[in-house]
Structure formats: structure tokens, C-alpha cells
Amino acid sequence: MSGIQTMGQKNLMFFSGRAYPELAQEIARNLGVEITPTALRDFANGEIYVRYLESVRGCDAFVIQSHTAPINKWIMEQLIMVDALKRASAKRVTVIMPFFGYARQDKKGRGREPITARFMADMFKQAGADRLMSIDLHTSQIQGFFDGPVDHLFAMPILIDYLRDKLDPSTTTIVSPDTGRVRLAERWSDMLNTPVAFIHKRRDLDVANQVKVNEVVGKVRGRTCVLIDDMIDTGGSICKAADALYDHGATNVVVAATHAVFSEPAVDRLKNSRISEVVVTNTLPIPEEKRFDKLTVLSIAPLIARAITEVFTDGSVTSLFEGDS
């Protein structure tokens, strides 16, 4: 017999960048592991240095980074962390990005524009990522941008579990803020047994974060409306959508979104809006100065921890959402 055989055990190692250590620590507690000690620092000119303080040879590495502001710095740090792992002989690298940076730039709307979401996937593949894991991608097509497995997780069960006891299905309507979210709204309605409505809007292609609400389609008069979306950035779109629903006779508007980007002036807009509650997850850090009375933040950490466990044990990530698979 030639060669050498070993009876090695799989070794899960969990790594975190500096963008959002609180979420990483919560996930680590759910997994029952420690975050691998890592030296992360900036040089005087802004370059990032990474070195792992333990051997990573042959490990199954999971690297989390939240793509929050300053987004380009934290994306670059995660790329460097992946490169360092591959050069240190990690066996498999799974990149966890709860919020996929640049996801909105997923197609060419006009000539001479980039498809930056595809470029993001290419960069992580080139750095050495074997697998991506993200939550509520802006569009499902982004899964096809990466040449490898993509675990697309959904926050919908977490949001629905929170809202279920607060809503009366007979007087509730799930509302998509645009035509692109209608399929998601239908999934919400299937789980809550409620009707669906959507808002027809037009976006100004020359001005970022500017939309014009044209019409509300569906049954909203005299009902509680749950506006669902993947992210809240400046809050302009969601607040205009809520105003349109009230103008069409809605008695109450609740917003449920996964990613609380909360760029200025989102907090002021939401606080001063007629929205009764804003429910989000903690895929992105929300500092105290961006929290307000109407805001409810739900933890995504148990979901990510379960997904990591399924990937590590070669189980089924799909089973988290569709039962046994």
C-alpha cells in the first residue's frame, strides 16, 4: 500500500472581522465555539493587516463580516482574511456576509454601468472563498454570480414569528413596496393567511434614493398593512409607501425589513413617520444613536449558527426553511 492514511477529524474554526464583533460573539455562543484569535490592524496609510494567531491548516473556516459603513473597508478586510486563510492551508472557506454589499447593483439598468454585485462575487472567489452565505439577497439572481455553493438564508420566519401574535389575519394585508417584492409578499401571505397588495412606484435613475409612488394595488382600506422589504437605507421609499397606504385608507402600517442600513436621514424620517412599528434584524450594527422607540430589533444569530452547523456537518441548509430535506 502506498501513501499515508490518517483518521483526521473535521475541524470547525470561526473567524470575525472588526465591523460587528457583537454579532460574531453571539453566533459563537450559539455554536458553542470561540472566535479564533486574529491580529487585525490598520497601517498608517489605511492598509489592513491580518494574521491568525493559531494554526488553520486543514480547517473548515467560517469568516463573518458585516458590510456596514465604511463598507469598502470592511469588504476589503474580509477579502484579505480569506486570502490569508487559503495561504495558511485552510481546507474550505465559507464567507458569511449577513448583508451582501453592493447587492443593489445586480444588473445594468442603462449603458456604461457596472454589475457590481457580480464583481463582488468574483472578488471573493478569486480571494479563495469556496462558499458564500448571506441573508435576504436583494435579488435571488445574485446566487448565480458566484461560482460555487451559495446559502441564501431568509429572515422571514424570524420576522413572522414576532409579528404573528400581533396581527389579526382577517384585518391584515401584506404589502410589497414595489413589484420586485411581490413574490416575497406572497410567501408571507401564505404563512399568515392574509391578502397581498403592492405599490407601483418609479425610481429616478439620475438621483439615488429618490422614488415616486404612483398607485396602491390591492385591499388596504380599513386594514393593518405590513410593509415588507429587504433593507431600509435612507427610509425615503418606505416612508412614502406608508403615506400612500394611509392615503388609501389603511388604519395602521407596520414595517418589517431584514437589513437596517439606516443611512442619514433614515432615523429622523422613521421616527417622524406615521409608521407604528419598524421591525428589523441585527444583520448590521445599529448603534444607540440610531435606535428609537418604534424600532424592534430581532437577532439573526441563531439562524446563522444553525446554517453553519448544517454546512459543517454536510446537512441540509434548506431544511431550515422547508422542513426535512
Q: Which residues are catalytic?
A: 201
- Separation of alpha carbons 22 and 98, rounded Å: 13
Q: Judge contact between 301 and 30, C-beta under 8 A.
A: yes
- Separation of alpha carbons 171 and 117, rounded Å: 39
Residue 35 DSSP label? B
Strand-pair partners of 316:
none
Nearest to 194, CA basis, from 229, 177, 218: 218
- Separation of alpha carbons 210 and 40, rounded Å: 38
Q: Judge contact between 197 and 182, C-beta under 8 A.
A: no
Residue 112 DSSP label? T
Cβ-proximal residues to 282 (8 Å cutoff; 6+ apart), any chain: 23, 260, 297, 298, 299, 300, 301
Q: Which three cell numbers stand for residue 155?
A: 429572515
- Give 322: exposed, middle or buried? Use CB within 10 Å, 0-12, 13-18, 19+: exposed
Show contacts of 25-32: CB within 8 Å, 24+ apart: 26/299, 26/301, 27/64, 27/301, 27/304, 27/305, 27/308, 29/301, 30/301, 30/302, 30/304, 30/305, 30/306, 31/305, 31/308, 31/309
